[in-house]
């Protein structure tokens, strides 16, 4: 008998992985062709990119440094999407976390051993505080969180510019539009890579495990899938939704703290570097699974790094955006195609 095409309702992870690898390769091929058409040597550039990313120790270190914030902002967005909440404000919460951590690091005299934990706590709390108003408005008043979280990004970004160039500006060197160097930094674990990378990995895995094994995870899943059924089951949705958003804010705030205390070492304007928005891409790539945030963040880090390499080769920085967009489109198509199988009757 013939083997007809059937669309699967649930796609096995292995099929999805293969389809996505093909999508990445297809995107790479497209980028190569475009480069060749514009008179560049794609092989030469490719070798350059490989050498400066996965092909060398420094490249790998860079990747890990890019991955660290992306893991956490990705987790921040993913945690909301799971429940049908769209946190577009990870960027702002990132800034809030970085600012609070810097304030502790710069102005609060603490014994060395306490410094980093307190900074991390401050970062988490500040991220959560930055989303608190949108969270309450969404949970109890049904105000769309998309607009409110987005708008607060601009507030946070401008606030950091103001602090870094104004009251907190570094008056010692007076040269940089940034604060002084923090006195205590996150220790390194491997070259330039610091413990923040490990913490981010652990946080992502723990988040996935906790949501799968906890009553909180189950109840929030029901709220996200059908609020009426949640009410019927006696689940009070508003506090849960609020908590989910606060956790999202805390994750993005932690990303900000780790970035400032581990990678950048001082608070400066633009420190969030779009990590909050790229977190949306990471979360969408990861779909239903928390662990999938890790490869998704790695891929996004690779693209960012590639952009920098291309820039050194005098190719516009917008190339990163184009590649990201192309990749998202290719992956969306791949996900859809992966659902089709030939079955034997």
State the residues that interact with another protein by CB under 8 A. Answer: 1-2, 4-6, 8-10, 212-218, 221-222, 225-226, 228-229, 231-236, 343, 345
Return the number of the residue (82 or 266) whose C-beta is nearest another protein: 82
Strand partners, 188: 194
Q: How far is the CB of 15 from another protein (least distance, A)?
A: 12
- DSSP notation for 66-83: HHHHHHHHHHHHHHHHTT
Return the number of the residue (93 or 220) whose C-beta is nearest another protein: 220
Provide the residue count of the chain: 345
Q: How far is the CB of 145 from another protein (least distance, A)?
A: 20
Return the number of the residue (84 or 165) whose C-beta is nearest another protein: 84
Characterise 191 by phi-psi region: left (phi > 0), alpha (psi -120 to 50), beta (else).
Answer: left
Cα–Cα distance measured from residue 153 to residue 132, given in angstroms and rounded to the nearest whole number: 13
Q: How far is the CB of 215 from another protein (least distance, A)?
A: 5
Q: How far is the CB of 270 from another protein (least distance, A)?
A: 39
The dihedral through the CA atoms of 34, 39, 42, 48 has a sign that is: negative
Two structure tokens written together for 315: 């190719």
Q: How many Cα atoms sit within 13 Å of 226 on the Cβ side?
A: 5
Cα–Cα distance measured from residue 63 to residue 50, given in angstroms and rounded to the nearest whole number: 12
Cα–Cα distance measured from residue 30 to residue 195, given in angstroms and rounded to the nearest whole number: 36
Return the number of the residue (112 or 234) whose C-beta is nearest another protein: 234
Characterise 224 by phi-psi region: left (phi > 0), alpha (psi -120 to 50), beta (else).
Answer: alpha
Q: How far is the CB of 221 from another protein (least distance, A)?
A: 6
- Assess contact for 184 and 112: CB atoms under 8 A: yes
CB-based burial label for 167 (10 Å; 0-12, 13-18, 19+):
exposed
User: Tokens 């995870």, residue?
Assistant: 217
Cα–Cα distance measured from residue 178 to residue 170, given in angstroms and rounded to the nearest whole number: 6
Return the number of the residue (12 or 117) whose C-beta is nearest another protein: 12
Q: How far is the CB of 6 from another protein (least distance, A)?
A: 7
Q: How far is the CB of 209 from another protein (least distance, A)?
A: 11
Return the number of the residue (78 or 95) whose C-beta is nearest another protein: 78
Return the number of the residue (216 or 277) whose C-beta is nearest another protein: 216
- Assess contact for 71 and 226: CB atoms under 8 A: no
User: Tokens 């849960």, residue?
Assistant: 240
Q: How far is the CB of 285 from another protein (least distance, A)?
A: 20
Return the number of the residue (97 or 208) whose C-beta is nearest another protein: 208
Return the number of the residue (214 or 316) whose C-beta is nearest another protein: 214
Q: How far is the CB of 38 from another protein (least distance, A)?
A: 39
What are residue 193's phi and psi, to 5 degrees? -75, 135
- Assess contact for 307 and 52: CB atoms under 8 A: no
């Amino acid at each position: 008998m013939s083997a007809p095409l059937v669309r699967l309702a649930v796609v096995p992870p292995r099929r999805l992985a293969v389809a996505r690898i093909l999508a990445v390769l297809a995107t790479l091929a497209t980028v190569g062709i475009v480069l060749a058409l514009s008179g560049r040597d794609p092989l030469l550039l490719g070798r350059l990119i490989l050498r400066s990313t996965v092909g060398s120790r420094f490249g790998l270190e860079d990747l890990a440094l890019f991955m660290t914030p992306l893991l956490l902002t990705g987790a921040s967005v993913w945690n909301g999407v799971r429940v049908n909440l769209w946190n577009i404000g990870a960027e702002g919460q990132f800034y809030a976390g970085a600012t609070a951590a810097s304030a502790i690091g710069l102005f609060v005299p603490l014994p060395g051993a306490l410094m980093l934990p307190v900074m991390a706590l401050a970062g988490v709390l500040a991220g959560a505080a930055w989303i608190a108003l949108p969270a309450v408005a969404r949970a109890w008043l049904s105000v769309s969180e998309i607009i409110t979280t987005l708008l607060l990004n601009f507030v946070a970004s401008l606030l950091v510019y103001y602090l870094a160039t104004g009251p907190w500006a570094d008056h010692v060197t007076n040269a940089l539009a940034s604060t002084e160097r923090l006195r205590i930094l996150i220790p390194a674990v491997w070259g330039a890579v610091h413990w923040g990378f490990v913490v981010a990995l652990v946080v992502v895995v723990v988040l996935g495990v906790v949501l799968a094994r906890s009553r909180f995870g189950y109840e929030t899943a029901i709220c996200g899938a059908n609020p009426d059924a949640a009410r019927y089951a006696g689940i009070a949705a508003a506090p849960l939704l609020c908590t989910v958003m606060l956790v999202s804010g805390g994750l993005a705030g932690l990303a900000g703290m780790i970035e400032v205390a581990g990678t950048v070492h001082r608070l400066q304007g633009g420190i969030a570097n779009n990590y909050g928005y790229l977190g949306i891409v990471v979360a969408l790539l990861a779909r239903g699974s928390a662990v999938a945030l890790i490869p998704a963040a790695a891929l996004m880090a690779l693209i960012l790094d590639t952009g920098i390499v291309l820039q050194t080769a005098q190719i516009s920085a917008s190339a990163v955006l184009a590649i990201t967009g192309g990749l998202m489109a290719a992956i969306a198509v791949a996900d859809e195609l992966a659902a089709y199988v030939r079955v034997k009757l």
